[in-house]
Amino acid sequence: MSGEEYLKYVTQKVVTHLNTPKSKRTRKKNKSNGMSNKWFGILPFAIRIFLSKRKQSSK
């Protein structure tokens, strides 16, 4: 997924979230999923940003 596609996806999610009424935006908490499952999707992204900044600073 390229950066442009990712930005488009995130923008669509935010707009959809903001357009739904607050009463329907209830969060369902599932006790079986821990924090690692919740944040697993962002960890590779964070590592990639960290490494790219590290690479840029070494130039």
- Residue 11: per-residue pLDDT: 95
Burial label, 46 (beta-carbon count in 10 A; 0-12, 13-18, 19+): exposed
Instruction: Please report, for the chain, the start and end positions of each structural domain, with discontinuous segments joined by +.
Output: 1-57
pTM confidence score: 0.39
**Tell me: the pLDDT tens digits for 6-59?**
999 999 999 998 898 877 777 654 444 455 556 677 777 787 789 898 888 876
Which residue bears the tokens 């599932």?
A: 30
